[in-house]
Chain A
Amino acid sequence: METETKKIEALKGGEFLTKDSDPQSVFIPEDISEEQKLMADAAREFVEKEILPKLDAIDHQEPGLTVSLMEKAGELGLLGAAVPAEYGGLGEDFNTNTFLSMEIGASHSFGVSFAAHTGIGTLPILYYGTAEQKQKYLPKLASGEMKAAYCLTEPTSGSDALSAKTTAKLSDDGKYYILNGQKMWITNGGFADILITFAQVDGDKFTCFVIDTKSEGFTRGKEEDKMGIKGSSTRALFLDNVKVPKENILGEIGKGHYIAFNVLNVGRFKLCAMTTGGAKKFISIAVNYANERKQFGKTIASFGAIKYKLAEQAIRVFVSESATLRTSGLIKDKVSELLAKGSNYSQAVITAAEEYGIESAMLKVFGSEMLDYVVDEAVQIFGGYGYSEEYPAARAYRDSRINRIFEGTNEINRLLTVDMLVKRSMKGRLDLMGPAMAIQKELMSVPSFGDKPTGLLALELEAIRNAKKAILMIAGSAVQKFMMKLGDEQEIIMNVTDMLIEVFTSESAILRTQKLSSRKNEEEILPYLEMTQVYVSDSLERINLYGKHAIASFTEGDELKMLMLGLKRYVKFDPVNTTKLRRDIAGRLIEANKYCF
């Protein structure tokens, strides 16, 4: 007999909504190679020995400290990990860089300076620079000799970034552009040597420039007095007739928005990797304290209310890590595929990051909100000591908050998620119509009460598959109703994105656990299984709530009834004893005295 082996194609961006994934094809944290592990260990050692003991000094912005630490990171190769070897970097692949970002994520303010330099500061040149521009800047950026900042935001243009007012005018001799304007909130603004800056040429041609901060007419404002990440330099920057040589234009005139947005695709993904790594550390700190602190003659870790928090913190981090590495693997594979097809490195990374822009936007939202949950409950576990700056929870709490604001606010990223999906569907890049029609048909038919699927997490997977149908049903109806005006219905869009995030993250946790199950015995897989079970069960409840909000907002009468019936059918799931599962999960954390999954 002939056996048919069907190779499952890698998921395209956004396709998670309509297609299944093969667990074996998914990249999971446990797939880390020996070399990647050594590199991650080196990054962790750097954070633990160089950064953590100096957090106070960094937060007080001790002169020169962050700069010297950046240089030290450069010496170790951390700044150039993503830069190709021909430009003085290490040319490590996307996954290795994800592991490194996770480690740096635990370094508070320093992580922000680091990310601004290596991400939005370096990548525009790496992706869009000419050979000369790359040769001029990348080796120095990779070594840390030169520090970079990224200047998009202005006083009157934040989320609406393209409305920037900074102008660039060609000089009479045609040799340089003269820039005038003000940039706001610029990370590394206090010490950057070069600025990736956006300005309008001839009034409306949004264009990217590399500015040398030694240029005449450039001045720095004073340090902002911030709520958190106090150790990162954030300043307004002023451009007063700054002359920028023509050869410092990055990319093409009028095409600056490609640079701005494509770099943010990577930035958002990385932000999630960093929040995930940071969150692990803060869970360890919280468990540690809960194991030490005694009240009523017992450690507070022995109280169910505290166990709930510890377990929920770990579950969200576990899920975040699963979704992050899954996406990282997809991007990495796409890069490899494009390189094999003859694409150059820069083009391959830009295209791959754009392909998974939807996932990256969702991850940015999920990671930042996950971290906020973790640090908020860390403060709570510390009680009064959580409110004191002498203990680590307060700093973690303040520093986390920025993640929901920069790299596109979470509102903007939620809007973008649906916007990208709809656009791709309209362009025929993504088939949402077919599956949406199939669901309409299915809804007309009687539900089958066939055999339940069996196997590890098979019921959960089936439930998430159904939840995807609920999303398509609701989003499909909303699109039909509002057509081009859907953009005005932001509340529905928020609901839809929240549902999308739930299914993407749930599925990522399921796939990771399933893949792991082929390597671990029953006892070893249990922690992962239990975390996935709790998350999926809760996730379905949340999907139900978001779905209900959406449906009730734009339907009534029979249509409302029909959609509600559909929703009920698609999010049906038997009750799970999440209390017991959470106690088990917390028990493992308490025993290990740290995040241990």
Chain B
Amino acid sequence: MKVAVCVSHVPDTATKVKIGQDEKHIDPAGVVFIINPYDEFAVEEALKTKEKFGGEVVAISVGNDNSKETLRKALAMGVDKGILLKTDKSLDSVGIAKALAEELKNQQFDIVFMGKQSVDYDDSIVGQLTSEFLGYSCISNAVYLNIEGQKVIAEREIEGGKEVVESELPVVITTQKGLNEPRYASLKGIMASKKKEILEKPIVETTNHTEVVKMRKPAAKQPGRIIGTDVSAVPELVKLLHEEAKVI
């Protein structure tokens, strides 16, 4: 089985992000970057798939040199090989999906895993776009997966419940929390990853379909208000929730 896993290098959700001077990018100074948490489920599933069927797992990332750190992490978890599709430009989801698809197409993967979204820009469409560009089917938000022969059975998380779907290989699968428990990079894995290769390739020229005009921080949270401490406050609370917060 030829398995690809697409990973992105994103700011740690625990770091405070500042907007850069141009108001179009974040200021990377002091920001800790990590592998996109949803991609960890993808890596885990890719490794499990290889453990079951044999074959090879290749991790692919679109980004600048810093993304190698995230590829290294995937290699340390057990991925066989890394490919950096190198660009210093910031691409939108279409650009990224095109770059990925171009690379994936050449290598005829059976399954492509990636996180259901990247926690940086939260577009949540790279998987679907990639499958479209590749002509693969797509299963998004997978929380359960079973592959038998050419058949793929998956459970998808949908509003209020789960949906069971069936598809055929080749397929792009985007992974959601709950699918598995990502393994740790063991120290042995880290040592072994030193000998694994990260191939660097230029990306195909793509143009963005959207342009970032401005970034803004959300307004500071309003402080909470205590309107009472017992049952007598309920009518007032209901009124405020209805009229002021407009949530009920």
A-to-B contact residues, CB < 8 Å: 34-35, 38-39, 41-42, 45-46, 49, 75-78, 81, 90, 92, 592-593, 596
30 A-B interface contacts by CB (under 8 A): A34-B72, A35-B190, A35-B191, A35-B194, A38-B73, A38-B76, A38-B190, A39-B187, A42-B76, A42-B184, A42-B185, A42-B186, A42-B187, A42-B190, A45-B184, A45-B185, A46-B184, A49-B184, A76-B184, A76-B186, A77-B186, A77-B187, A77-B188, A81-B187, A90-B188, A90-B191, A92-B187, A592-B16, A593-B16, A596-B30
Q: List the A side residues contacting B69 at CB < 8 Å.
A: 34
CA distance A114 to B186 in the complex (A): 17
CA distance A90 to B190 in the complex (A): 11
What is the minimal beta-carbon distance from B151 to any residue of chain A, in angstroms?
Answer: 33
User: How many contacts A-B (CB < 8 Å)?
Assistant: 41
CA distance A596 to B15 in the complex (A): 11
Q: List the A side residues contacting B188 at CB < 8 Å.
A: 77, 90
CA distance A75 to B190 in the complex (A): 13
5 further A-B contacts with Cβ under 8 Å, apart from A38-B185, A42-B76, are A35-B194, A38-B73, A42-B187, A76-B184, A81-B187
Interface flags, B60-97, vs A, CB<8A=1, else 0:
00000000010011001000000000000000000000
Query: Quick one: which of A39, A46, A596 contacts B190, CB cutoff 8 A?
Result: A39
Q: List the A side residues contacting B16 at CB < 8 Å.
A: 592-593
User: In the complex, what residue of chain A is closest to B190 when comparing beta carbons?
Assistant: A38
CA distance A90 to B30 in the complex (A): 32
- Is the beta-carbon distance between A90 and B187 smaller than 8 angstroms? yes
CA distance A120 to B73 in the complex (A): 32
Q: A90-B191, A592-B30, A593-B16 are in contact. Are A38 and B72 (CB under 8 A)?
A: yes
Q: List the A side residues contacting B76 at CB < 8 Å.
A: 38, 42
What is the minimal beta-carbon distance from A346 to any residue of chain B, in angstroms?
Answer: 21
Q: List the B side residues contacting A35 at CB < 8 Å.
A: 190-191, 194
User: In the complex, what residue of chain A is closest to B76 when comparing beta carbons?
Assistant: A38
CA distance A75 to B76 in the complex (A): 14
Q: A35-B191, A38-B76, A593-B16 are in contact. Are A75 and B186 (CB under 8 A)?
A: yes
B-to-A contact residues, CB < 8 Å: 16, 30, 69, 72-73, 76, 184-188, 190-191, 193-194
Chain B facing A: main interface SS: helix
Q: List the A side residues contacting B194 at CB < 8 Å.
A: 35
Q: List the A side residues contacting B193 at CB < 8 Å.
A: 38
Q: List the B side residues contacting A90 at CB < 8 Å.
A: 187-188, 191
CA distance A471 to B232 in the complex (A): 73
CA distance A39 to B190 in the complex (A): 7
Q: List the B side residues contacting A39 at CB < 8 Å.
A: 187, 190
What is the minimal beta-carbon distance from A520 to any residue of chain B, in angstroms?
Answer: 12
- Is the beta-carbon distance between A76 and B187 smaller than 8 angstroms? yes
CA distance A592 to B191 in the complex (A): 32
CA distance A110 to B190 in the complex (A): 23
Most chain B beta-carbon contacts within 10 A, residue among A38, A39, A45, A77: A38
Q: List the B side residues contacting A45 at CB < 8 Å.
A: 184-185
What is the minimal beta-carbon distance from A53 to any residue of chain B, in angstroms?
Answer: 14
Q: List the B side residues contacting A81 at CB < 8 Å.
A: 187
In the complex, the 8 A-B pairs of residues with the closest C-beta atoms, listed nearest first: A77-B187, A76-B186, A38-B190, A77-B188, A42-B185, A77-B186, A39-B190, A90-B187
User: In the complex, what residue of chain A is closest to B73 when comparing beta carbons?
Assistant: A38
Most chain A beta-carbon contacts within 10 A, residue among B72, B186, B193: B186
User: In the complex, what residue of chain A is closest to B187 when comparing beta carbons?
Assistant: A77
CA distance A46 to B183 in the complex (A): 11
User: In the complex, what residue of chain A is closest to B223 when comparing beta carbons?
Assistant: A294
Q: List the B side residues contacting A77 at CB < 8 Å.
A: 186-188
Q: List the B side residues contacting A78 at CB < 8 Å.
A: 187
User: In the complex, what residue of chain B is closest to A37 when comparing beta carbons?
Assistant: B69
Q: List the B side residues contacting A46 at CB < 8 Å.
A: 184
What is the minimal beta-carbon distance from A37 to any residue of chain B, in angstroms?
Answer: 9
Q: List the B side residues contacting A592 at CB < 8 Å.
A: 16, 30
What is the minimal beta-carbon distance from A341 to any residue of chain B, in angstroms?
Answer: 26
Q: List the B side residues contacting A49 at CB < 8 Å.
A: 184
Q: List the A side residues contacting B184 at CB < 8 Å.
A: 42, 45-46, 49, 76
Q: List the B side residues contacting A75 at CB < 8 Å.
A: 186
What is the minimal beta-carbon distance from A583 to any residue of chain B, in angstroms?
Answer: 20
CA distance A539 to B12 in the complex (A): 37
CA distance A41 to B185 in the complex (A): 9
What is the minimal beta-carbon distance from B70 to any residue of chain A, in angstroms?
Answer: 11
CA distance A378 to B72 in the complex (A): 37
User: In the complex, what residue of chain B is closest to A43 when comparing beta carbons?
Assistant: B187
CA distance A437 to B72 in the complex (A): 56
User: In the complex, what residue of chain B is closest to A91 when comparing beta carbons?
Assistant: B191
CA distance A41 to B188 in the complex (A): 14
CA distance A126 to B104 in the complex (A): 49
What is the minimal beta-carbon distance from B221 to any residue of chain A, in angstroms?
Answer: 13
Q: List the B side residues contacting A41 at CB < 8 Å.
A: 185
CA distance A596 to B16 in the complex (A): 12
CA distance A90 to B194 in the complex (A): 14
What is the minimal beta-carbon distance from B65 to any residue of chain A, in angstroms?
Answer: 12
Q: List the B side residues contacting A34 at CB < 8 Å.
A: 69, 72
What is the minimal beta-carbon distance from A29 to any residue of chain B, in angstroms?
Answer: 16
Q: List the A side residues contacting B187 at CB < 8 Å.
A: 39, 42, 76-78, 81, 90, 92
User: In the complex, what residue of chain A is closest to B14 when comparing beta carbons?
Assistant: A594
User: In the complex, what residue of chain A is closest to B72 when comparing beta carbons?
Assistant: A38
Q: List the A side residues contacting B191 at CB < 8 Å.
A: 35, 90
Most chain A beta-carbon contacts within 10 A, residue among B76, B185, B186, B190: B190
What is the minimal beta-carbon distance from A51 to any residue of chain B, in angstroms?
Answer: 13
Q: List the B side residues contacting A596 at CB < 8 Å.
A: 30
User: In the complex, what residue of chain B is closest to A78 when comparing beta carbons?
Assistant: B187
Q: List the A side residues contacting B30 at CB < 8 Å.
A: 592, 596
User: In the complex, what residue of chain B is closest to A77 when comparing beta carbons?
Assistant: B187
CA distance A77 to B187 in the complex (A): 5
